[in-house]
Amino acid sequence: MKKMLSLILIGMIILLSACGSNGDDSSKESTESSDSTNSSSDTVDVSDAEEIYKQTCFGCHGNNLEGASGPTLKGIGSKYSEEEIKAIIVNGQGAMPGGIVEDAEAEALAKWLAEKK
């Protein structure tokens, strides 16, 4: 019984760490370098949202939004508004930690995901 609980705990730790900062340092660097050349440094183009998703979210939510260790995001725009999606991204929900992406990236992701109906 103790072995089974230990294995479950280790498995959960691995799954949660996979949802963490995959490429987080590099995204901060690219954001910082683009800040100096972009007049509106606090915005991220929605066309970049899919790339942000691939760098930070697909490990838990799947390559095609189908869900993996995290829930499916297919039809998420029918379930939540753009503002609600952004709040989940920023604050986290359930096993998903908040703060995985910067605020401007969260805004772009929320807009992109809200279109998934």
Which domain does 91 fall in, by range? 2-20+43-114
Q: Domains in the chain: how many in total?
A: 1
Q: What is the 3-state secondary structure (H, E, C) of the chain?
A: CHHHHHHHHHHHHHHHHHCCCCCHHHHHHHHHHHHHHCCCCCCCCHHHHHHHHHHHCHHHHCCCCCCCCCCCCCCHHHHCCHHHHHHHHHHEECCEECCCCCHHHHHHHHHHHHCCC
Residue 49, domain member (yes or no): yes
Residue 30, domain member (yes or no): no
pLDDT tens digit sequence for 20-53:
544 444 444 444 444 433 333 467 787 899 999 9
Residue 25, domain member (yes or no): no
> What's the rounded Cα separation, in Å, for the pair 104 and 91?
14
Residue 38, domain member (yes or no): no
Residue 16, domain member (yes or no): yes
Residue 109, domain member (yes or no): yes
Residue 29, domain member (yes or no): no
CATH number for position 63: 1.10.760.10
What is the torsional sign of CA 72, 75, 79, 85? Answer: positive
pLDDT band of residue 3 (cuts 50, 70, 90) is confident
pTM score, whole prediction? 0.64
